[in-house]
Every structure is written in structure tokens, then in C-alpha cells.
Homo-oligomer: A and B are copies of this chain.
């Protein structure tokens, strides 16, 4: 019997769970500070929800199967399609703007590398109903607020920003037809990662010739907005929205985190506007989080479009990064009291003491077997107990218990009333 969880997945023993809880608490706290409401959807969805036609990796990496009722289902590889489904289900009764967040576990069957497993938890923030880049700015403010909370600054993390409208402008200028846009975007995203030869066939199938690809690659090498202005013009939609986004970032106070980078396209087909991804300035890891605007996603599911943007922020890469930079907190078990019956016949009284302390909201462990005092001390240390309460026959008869503070070593007797 293999004692490991399936390849690419994780167990969370109490030590690791404390860390996950610490991380999730930060995720949730930031979401609440920014006025987002939490939602969730089943980890298992209809497969059709995830299958798009743009040749994304994600559809080839589905954990999909037929259930006992013959339905094609899949573990979600990302949260956005489930979110879109829920928004559409809500229909006209949804008050806009809607700011929603979630912390789903997502599954992809893929080759594993550092910081990439077959499951991860992903903090998702999305805003529906706001067409302007004020929404993207709000998302980026939440991201940078999170980084600061866990001790990371603009010197550690950068956020590459571009817009699908940059690519749109470039594709227009080299004569790529509009209907190929989403598929070309996915392909262009791959250009950054794999040699051009490897996807030459796919490019040809989408009608891109060598010289078009050259011109696209050249445009995507741009790293400053002035260069972009020279290429597309100051009034181009891409430039207008990026300039506005940088101005808003200055008001929020996170402008120093942002880097314009025309090569950022993001691999998902559905983005339509601003796209961004946070990266470790030490550049040893893959993207820490990423997102953007997806104004036309709902119509791909047969619904009415609502302007929307959002991001996904995985738990694996950030924990690697915090570990590498020595910023993981030391989280030890903690407990208010360990209650120890000094003799078997003191079990009932010890239960009464523990029950009383618990009723006051204290965290209390109780020694459930007949053990020696030495063992109780060891157990108190292991569980991080603040105080060890001895319930012995003589003190109990006098209505008292003996308490030892384990940090100070101080020892005293308390009446049951004082407890």
C-alpha cells in the first residue's frame, strides 16, 4: 500500500496545515479589506464548461471522466468558468458591480516542475460590472496589499502589465483577422516559452507567415509605454488604458511594483484587455499570480456579456518564494491549558475542570489515559500549552487545583471559582 497521496498532490499534516491556514487567513483578510464577498462552486463540473477551441494547454490537462450516470465531468483546472456559470445563473438579480472572491482547489494533469503540482489552491478575486481599468487597479492594489502583509515589497516582486489590446493593435497592423485573435494570443503566449519551430505548424494553420511572426515578436519586445505610443499612437485603446492604469497605481501607492511588458499575453483565450502577472524579481520561479480583463467570456457560454476582470493567485509558488527568502513564519502549536488528572479517580474532576475552561472559550486538552507527571510535562510542551492544570485528590477536596505556567515556571493554586 502506497502511503503517499497521488503523484503531484499534497497531504497537509498539522504543521503544513498551520502554514496553509496562515496563508489563507491573509488571502481572506485582504479580500475583506477590499470589500469582496466569498463564494464557492463544486470542484467537479461538467467537462463542457472547460473546453474551449483556442488550443490552450488547460483543456489538454483536464482530470476528466464519465460519472456513473454517463455524464462527462472534470475537476476544475481554474475557477473562472465556474464563476461565469454562477454569474449567468444569477442573471438579472445580480447587483453590479459584484466583487467576489474564492479559494478553490484546482487540478491539472501536467508535467511537474518546481512550484507546479497537479493540484493547488488558488486565491481568486473578480470584479463584474466595471468596464474601466479602475477595476484592474483595485485588483492590483489587493495583490500588492497581500504581498506587503506577508513581508514582500516592490524590490522582491514586480508585476508585468500589458493589454490584449496591445497584441490586438499589433495583429491589426500585420493583417491578422479578428476571428483568429484568441487562438493567436494563446500561440503568441507560447512563443515566449518554446522555440518558434515547435509551433510553426500551428502558426501556419492560423494564417501567420514568417514575416508576420517576426513583426509580432519585435513588437512584444517593447518594455516602455513611449515605445508603444510610437508604434500604436497615443490615442490607441491599449495606450489610453495602460496610461490610466499607471496613474491609478500612483494614487494607490503601488506604481513602483508595475512594469510595462508587451510580451505578457497570458495563456488563456478569454482575456480581452489588461493582462498582468506578478513575478519574483529574483527570477527563479514562474509567475506568482496572473489575471486580466475578460469582457466577452459570458457570451461564449451563451449569456449576455458583463465587463469583468480577475486574477488567480496560487498557494504553491508564493510559499516557495517565502521559504526561499526566509519569510515563512514559524508557526508552533498553541493551546491554553492541558488538564491532567493526577490519579485515575480524578478523571471525573479533570473533565469538570476542562469543561469549565472550554466553556470560557479556552483551548484545552485533557490527558485521557493514566500517565506519569513527567509525561504530562512533555505533552504540555509538545502541544504548546500555556498552563498545565493538575487535578489531585487533596486540592480537589478543598475545591482547588494546582496550575503551572509553563513559560514563567510559576506555580500556584486556584479555587474552581478563580479558574
Contacts and interface: CB of A to CB of B under 8 A. Distances in A.
Among A18, A33, A71, A97, residue most surrounded by chain B Cβ atoms (within 10 Å)? A33
B75 A44 contact: yes
A7 B67 CA distance: 11
A362 B32 CA distance: 8
Interface stretch (A170-178, A186-194, A200-208, A245-253): A245-253
Interface in A68-118: 68-69, 71, 73, 75, 82, 85-86, 88-90, 95, 97, 99-100, 105, 107, 109
Given A13-B90, A347-B251, A44 B63 contact: yes
B5 A41 contact: yes
Contacts of A303: 1
A69 B7 contact: yes
Interface residues of A, number: 95
Contacts of A99: 365
Interface in A3-56: 3-7, 9-14, 17-18, 20-21, 32-35, 37-46, 48-49
Given A45-B6, A130-B369, A33 B352 contact: no
B39 A12 contact: yes
Among A65, A145, A347, A351, residue most surrounded by chain B Cβ atoms (within 10 Å)? A351
A69 B61 CA distance: 11
A233 interface: no
B42 A368 contact: no
Nearest to A382: B95
A18 B250 CA distance: 34
Contact of A40 (B11, B69, B85, B86): B11
A298 B123 CA distance: 35
B362 A73 contact: no
A177 B149 CA distance: 62
Given A351-B252, A383-B35, A41 B67 contact: no
A38 B21 contact: yes
A135 interface: yes
A4 B63 contact: no
A138 interface: yes
Nearest to A107: B44
A98 to B, nearest CB: 8
A141 interface: yes
A250 to B, nearest CB: 8
A365 to B, nearest CB: 3
A48 B1 contact: yes
A13 B32 CA distance: 16
Nearest to A249: B351
A3 B363 contact: no
A361 B40 CA distance: 24
B13 A138 contact: no
Contacts of A352: 251
Q: Which 4 A-B pairs have the closest CB atoms?
A: A35-B365, A65-B65, A14-B37, A9-B42
6 contacts: A4-B89, A5-B41, A11-B39, A134-B368, A248-B347, A251-B355
Given A1-B48, A12-B40, 19 more contacts: A3-B85, A6-B45, A11-B40, A11-B41, A11-B89, A14-B37, A35-B363, A43-B43, A44-B63, A44-B119, A68-B109, A69-B109, A132-B369, A134-B368, A135-B368, A138-B368, A250-B348, A252-B351, A253-B355
